[in-house]
Amino acid sequence: MISLLISENQPGQAQQLADKLGDSEEIEIVGYARDGLEVAQITAQLRPDVALIHADLPGMNGFEACQMAAMASPETACVILLDSGQESPESQRRAMRAGARAVIVTTTAADKLAEIVREVAGLKECKQQSEYELISDPTKMPVTIAVTGAKGGIGKTTIATNMAVCLQQQFPGQVVLVEFIGQYGDATLMLDLPQSRGIAELASYDELDPDLVESHLQRHSCGLKVLAAPRSGGIAPDSGDITIPYLADLLGILRRSYRFVVFDIPPLLEAVSTYIFSRCNYIIVVTYLLDLAAIRDTTTLLASLTDMKMPPERVKLVVNRSGNSSPFSLSDLQQAVKRPPAAQIPEDVATTTGALNEGVPVVLGAPRSAIASGIRKLARTIVAELPQGADR
Ligand SMILES: Nc1ncnc2c1ncn2[C@@H]1O[C@H](COP(=O)(O)OP(=O)(O)O)[C@@H](O)[C@H]1O
Ligand SMILES: [Mg+2]
């Protein structure tokens, strides 16, 4: 049932409106207002689904009354009624500024009027959509994470894939991993997923929609979704395939459906990497202490993230392959980058090689290994920083 408030600028007009709508069983008239102040008062008190507000009301005019009613009861859809001949772009603008959802003329036919009332009353049904919960509950806000690192082979894919699996275990069905470069062990290999359509194929469509994006994702048996990179060496920065508008659309769609979007992305894709970083809540910078170039390039990468105004607490430095064989020490790194690492992941060639050969990520295949526990801890650190909710 739609509750409706009607108003009139001349005696008898409200009754005419009521008669017009009399046949519509789903509309119930809950109030009559005879001047502008009364419109605002009754709307504030009764919070009807729809208020039909004549533009030319005695006392306070309909536009002012509409503005107050819309403020006092935001869930009420206000509709401005104009006498025929009064329609003009200016009255449309005034109605819009006052917060009206529609503008109609008093001579509108009964069935059309009922249709408009139903339509504007239906606007609040967006509260029923799952996304409404996302925007109204901070504990459900989508989180975008980039895992990057200044060199190939530094451990980005290992950490991105395993971290995505950890998040998936904690937030089933709410995690998608997006990879950009399928070199070395790519995520689909690490997860033993078949070769299939992915980010490059999706880029060839003129327009994206949630179903199309979903049809390009692969589902791992643990429930994690993956948008795969092309196997042949990845996406060249200047290939023009992956444009910023495409990425904006893609990320927009993924964020509507998935709580966590994890990117496995090198920093060298120029505009593409910069754009993704700018959209991330967290950037995990993977480094290691195995060569001086890695330390130097990590320092440059961190400086460029600072230049991008990424808040330092959102950038997590992770030292991968830590252990005795490193020729450089943690303090060498700290001296260069001027910050402590957020996590250290130990070197474990046997476990990572086994995981790659089996196509089972370490957090699933060797959950007790030190490397798995290091990555789990990293995922927990991030989850612990999110707004607290019952699902943590
Ligand atoms: N902590 C680790 N201990 C031992 N080997 C590792 C570790 N992390 C990654 N590796 C290995 O290093 C190689 C490169 O890792 P990868 O995650 O593919 O790096 P990237 O994605 O940065 O190119 C892989 O063979 C992987 O198994
Ligand atoms: Mg990789």
Task: Check if 371 has its Cβ closer than 6 Å to any atom of ligand 1.
Answer: yes
What's the pLDDT tens digit per position in 325-379?
788 889 999 999 999 999 999 999 999 999 999 999 999 999 999 999 999 999 9
pTM summary value = 0.81
Q: 2-128: which CATH architecture?
A: 3-Layer(aba) Sandwich (3.40)
For the cut 80, the answer to whether the pLDDT of residue 391 exceeds it is: no
Expressed in angstroms and rounded, the spacing between residue 375 Cα and the centre of ligand 1 is 13
Average the pLDDT over each of 258-272, 280-294, 355-369 and give the range with the smallest value.
258-272
pLDDT of residue 188: 87
The predicted pLDDT at position 392 comes to: 46
Q: Which part of the chain is CATH 3.40.50.300?
A: 134-385
Q: What contacts 24+ positions apart, CB below 8 Å, involve 369-375?
A: 370/346, 371/345, 371/346, 372/162, 374/343, 374/344, 374/345, 374/346, 375/159, 375/162, 375/163, 375/166, 375/345
Other C-beta atoms lying within 10 Å of the C-beta of residue 391: 12
335 CB-contact burial (10 Å; exposed 0-12 / middle 13-18 / buried 19+)? exposed
List 59's β-bridge partners, or say none: none
Angstrom distance (rounded) from CA 365 to CA 362? 5
pLDDT in tens, 218-263: 999 999 999 988 766 555 544 557 889 999 999 999 999 999 999 9
Ligand 1 neighbourhood includes 182 CB (under 6 angstroms): no
Is ligand 1 within 6 A of the CB of residue 348?
yes
Read off the pLDDT of residues 139-162 as tens digits, 9 standing for 90 and up: 788 999 999 999 888 999 999 999
CB atoms within 5 A of ion ligand 2 belong to: 156-157
Average the pLDDT over each of 12-26, 69-83, 236-250, 359-373 and give the range with the smallest value: 236-250
Ligand 1 atom closest to residue 160's alpha carbon, by position in its atom list: 17
The residues, ordered by sequence, that sit 6+ positions from 254 with a Cβ below 8 Å of its Cβ are 176, 178, 213, 227, 261
Cα-Cα end-to-end distance for the chain: 39
Amino acid sitting at position 152:
G
Average pLDDT over residues 299-305: 94
Q: How far apart are CA 362 and CA 352, in angstroms?
A: 7
Architecture of domain 134-385: 3-Layer(aba) Sandwich (3.40)
193-202, 297-306, 378-387: which range is least confident on average?
193-202
Distance 346 CA to ligand 1 centre (A): 11
Per-residue model confidence (pLDDT) at position 202: 92
Mean pLDDT over each residue of the chain, to the nearest integer: 90
* pLDDT, mean of residues 112-137: 86
Ligand that comes closest to the CA of residue 159: 1
- Amino acid, single-letter form, for residue 304: S
The candidate with the shortest Cα–Cα distance to 213, out of 235, 187, 246, is 246
Q: Is the CB of 186 under 6 A from ligand 1?
A: no
Query: What pLDDT is attached to residue 229?
Result: 85
**Pocket lining: 185 vs ligand 1, CB cutoff 6 Å:** yes
Model confidence at 211: pLDDT above 80:
yes
- Bridge partners of 225? 176, 219
Report the pLDDT value the prediction gives residue 268, as an integer from 0 to 100.
76
Q: Which atom of ligand 1 is nearest to the CA of 353?
A: 27
Of 137 and 348, which is predicted with more confidence? 348
- What is the mean predicted confidence (pLDDT) over 46-67? 96
Query: Ligand 1 within 6 A of 156 CB?
Result: yes
Is 36 touching ligand 1 by the criterion CB < 6 Å?
no
User: What distance in angstroms lies between residue 230's CA and the mean position of ligand 1's atoms?
Assistant: 19
C-beta 362 within 6 A of ligand 1: no
Tokens standing for residue 341: 């690492």
Cα(358)–Cα(364) distance, integer angstroms? 11
CA of 62 to the centre of ligand 2 (A): 62
Per-residue confidence at 62, pLDDT binned at 50, 70, 90? very high
Angle at 133 between CA 114 and CA 176, to 5 degrees: 125
**pLDDT of the residue at 238:** 47
Q: Does 356 sit in the ligand 1 pocket, CB within 6 Å? A: yes
The CA distance from 260 to 77, in Å, is: 34
Instruction: Please report which confidence band the pLDDT of residue 32 belongs to, taking 50, 70 and 90 as the band edges.
Output: very high
- Judged on CB neighbours under 10 Å (0-12, 13-18, 19+), 90 is exposed
At residue 138, does pLDDT exceed 80?
no
What residue ranges of the chain are covered by domains with CATH 3.40.50.2300? 2-128
Query: In the chain, what percentage of residues exceed pLDDT 70?
Result: 95
Mutate to test the pocket of ligand 1, among 179, 184, 362 (most ligand atoms within 8 A of CB): 184
Q: How many angstroms separate the most distant Cα atoms in the chain?
A: 92
Query: What is the share, in percent, of the chain residues with pLDDT greater than 90?
Result: 70
Burial of 368 per CB tally in 10 Å (0-12, 13-18, 19+): exposed
Residue 321: CB within 6 Å of ligand 1? yes
